[in-house]
Structure 1
Amino acid sequence: MRALVVVAASFLLGGLTSYAQGFLPDAASPFANSSSGWTLLTVLLVAWFAGAPRARTWHAAVLGAASFVLLVLGYTVAADLRGFVYHPLLFGLVGVVAGPFVGVAAAWLRTQGVRAALATALLAGIGVGEGTYGLLTVAEHTGATYWVVAGVASLVLLAAMLARRVRGTWPVVVTVAGTAVVAGAFYSAYIWLGTVGSLG
């Protein structure tokens, strides 16, 4: 039942992000038009699912991909209903490739040690990477508020996990270095794609 809720909620929330571009305040509007927005929704949904009895890592991986792809499809349908054309191929492929990792990371936030370190590095790195990209590339058009919040929230996640779940020299190194590597890779990928992280 939880899996069905995640699937349905992903599609509906994807559609809502399209409509949200029209009613969110300017400071928050990039949430509905950025990769970090969909990543956060996927993380929250899969993390909720992972709290169910007998939930397994592979379940989280499958739901991570399904959730991200359904967010894309929901957005596509809503955009069409609003009279806009959106091609879901790029972000659909991103969902298929990155979704499983995001899903596993969401589930592993409940663990300890290296698993928690890897989960934190991926999720915090995505937030820091996009926050940096937004500030350096599109802030003059969107304002800096959302990008600062995204970056700071990711650093708060990093600090909280280091304080509560990541223990030992090696896991700490993995967490900090991994966050930097993911952030750098995310930023570089956006530069290479020549995009502002727009969903449409």
Structure 2
Amino acid sequence: MPWLQLTGWIGSVLLIYSVMQARVLRFRVLNLAASAILAGFNAALEIWPMVAMNVALCAINLWHIRNLVTTRHDAATYEVLEVGPQDEYLRHVLRVHEADILRFQPDFTWDGASEGAAAFLVQRGDETVGVVLVHDVGGGVAHVVLDYVTQRFRDFSPGEFVWRHSTALKDHGFTRVRTPEHMIAPYYARLGFQPLENGAFELEL
């Protein structure tokens, strides 16, 4: 197969693969790569309308990627909303994402009626991108029951806005946050959580 034809096939397959992505950043990066390849492919064939379209798509993707990356730690972009632990919208979010939540945390259960339960939603505009559920275990410790990110924003860590940028936990009187045992290290270590001997992580607020 001639290299030019192979390039066209690679660009086309990558373009199709990109639109299958649920993660918004991954979609943009793959779509940018596909558009760049197809721009070069069509330029070699001198199909200038397709070149122009793919160059425009590259510019659009670059703009979105820049916006996503530069605002990933921006407290003005992501807002933490405390909701009642039995709030109906919270129940709706948990129901909608139940299968995905259980895929990562098969033993997850949430008793919003229990004493010491607290719930927080992370919003990006009008879109809910994260859910954080904690339980007061005494001594000023908030035990993490759920730290969930929706598929679209799984390349980010919106839970950090609950841990590092919001005063919501302090307003409850919490002085420390502790994760369950054997949580994934890079995310929490990056936010200043300290590892404990039992595999959990802890953060001083």
Same fold, judged at TM 0.5 (above): no
Structure whose residues are more often helix by fraction: 1
Structure whose residues are more often strand by fraction: 2
Please tell me the TM-score bracket, short chain as reference.
under 0.3
